[in-house]
Amino acid sequence: METQHKISSAEKRKKTENSGEDNSEESFTTVTRRKPKCRRSDLTKSADNNQLIDALTTPLEMQRLEEYYEVCITSLQCLPKQIGLAKLLKSENIINIMKIQYKSPYKVLVQFQKLEDAYHLINCKKILDLGYHCRIVNETHLSFGVVKGIDIGIEEQEILENLTSSCEISSVKRLKRLDINGILSKKEKSIVATESATLNNEEVTRMETDACTEKQEEKQKISKIWVIIKRVKEILFSESKVEEKILDIVKKQKEDVLKSFRLEPVTICFDSVLAGNPKSIESRDTIRYEVLKKWEKNTIKEGIKSSVTL
C-alpha cells in the first residue's frame, strides 16, 4: 500500500510539473465558470389547492411569502433598548411580535403577524403618553397639497382654522423662500396635510377659496364701501331726487356689508341701512338711516340729514 501511494504521488508531481511548463509557455490560463449546483428543496403541500410547491430557502423569499405588518415607532428622545422595549410591550399585552429591528436610537420597526395586533400598538395609550409616534409602514395615511393665494400676514394657525375639507386637516405649513439679502421670507403658498389616501385637485381648489379669511373679507368690504362713497358724492352733486338715488344705492348692497364708515373731510354715517333684507328694501319699507356730511364752508342740503321714508 505504501509503495502504491508513493507511485501515485510521484505521478501527480509529474503532472503538475508538466502543467506548469505548459502554463509558462502560454503565459495565461483559461478560467471557466462552474455549473450551478442544484439545491435540494423540500416539497410541501398547499392546504388550499393541494398542489406541490417548492419551499423557498432564502430569508428574503420567505419574507416575501409570509404576510406581516410592520409598525414604525419614532420619538424625539431616545427609545428604550431591546430589553426595556420588550418589557414595555409585554406589560401592555402586545402579542404576536415577529421581529424588532432598531434603525436608530430614535426609530424602531416592529413586525406583527396580524393587523389587529399592529393597531393595538398604534392605539396603546401608555405609548402615546410617552410621546412615541406609531404608524404602519407602507400605509398611505397622509396626503399633501399646495394651497395658493394665501395672504402673507395670516398665521398658520389661522389658516388651519379657516380651511375646510371633506377629510380632516392635520397640519398646515407655510412655504418660505430666500430673498436678495439671504433672509427667509414667507410665500403665498402653504402645504396642507390631510388624513386621507388621496387628495384630488378639486379639493385643493376648494381649500384655496376657503383661504379667504376675515382680513380678506374686510378688504372686500372696504372696496364696496368706496363704491358707496363714490355714489353718494354723485348724489350730493346731482339735481335729481335724492330719495331715488339713495334707494338705488341701497338696492345694490348686501346685508352686513357696512354699518358706518368715515371719510375726511366728509363724514358719512349710515345708521341701520342694512337692518332689513334686500326684499324689504325693494318693497319700499321704511328704513331709518342718517347721511351726514360736513363741508369746510357749506352745509348739506336740507332733507338729506333727516330720516327718509322709501
pLDDT digits (tens, 9 = 90+) for 201-248: 666 666 666 665 555 565 666 666 666 666 665 655 555 555 555 555
- Mean residue pLDDT across the chain: 65
Q: According to the model, what pLDDT value does residue 271 have?
A: 36
* Cβ within 8 Å of residue 201, ≥6 positions away: none
Q: According to the model, what pLDDT value does residue 188 have?
A: 81
Residue 88 pLDDT exceeds 50? yes
Q: According to the model, what pLDDT value does residue 260 have?
A: 39
Q: Which of 18-22, 94-98, 279-283, 286-290 has the highest mean pLDDT?
A: 94-98
Q: Where are the beta strands (DSSP E) in 117-209?
A: 133-136, 143-147, 169-178, 184-194
Q: Are domains 61-136 and 143-212 of this chain identical in fold?
A: yes
153 band by pLDDT with thresholds 50, 70 and 90: confident
Give me the residue spans of the domains in the chain: 61-136, 143-212, 213-310
How far apart are alpha carbons 268 and 261 in whole angstroms?
A: 7
* Least confident span in 75-84, 162-171, 252-261, 301-310: 301-310
Q: According to the model, what pLDDT value does residue 179 have?
A: 81
Domain 61-136 has CATH 3.30.70.330: yes
Q: According to the model, what pLDDT value does residue 250 have?
A: 52
Q: Where are the beta strands (DSSP E) in 117-226?
A: 133-136, 143-147, 169-178, 184-194
pTM: 0.36
Grid cell locating 108: 424602531
Which has the higher per-residue pLDDT, 181 or 140? Answer: 181
Q: According to the model, what pLDDT value does residue 197 have?
A: 66
In the block, cell 389661522 appears at 158
258 band by pLDDT with thresholds 50, 70 and 90: very low
* Cβ within 8 Å of residue 136, ≥6 positions away: 69, 70, 71, 72, 118, 122
- Chain Cα centroid distance, residue 259: 40
Residue 107 pLDDT exceeds 90? yes
Q: According to the model, what pLDDT value does residue 89 have?
A: 92
The CATH number of the domain covering residues in 143-212: 3.30.70
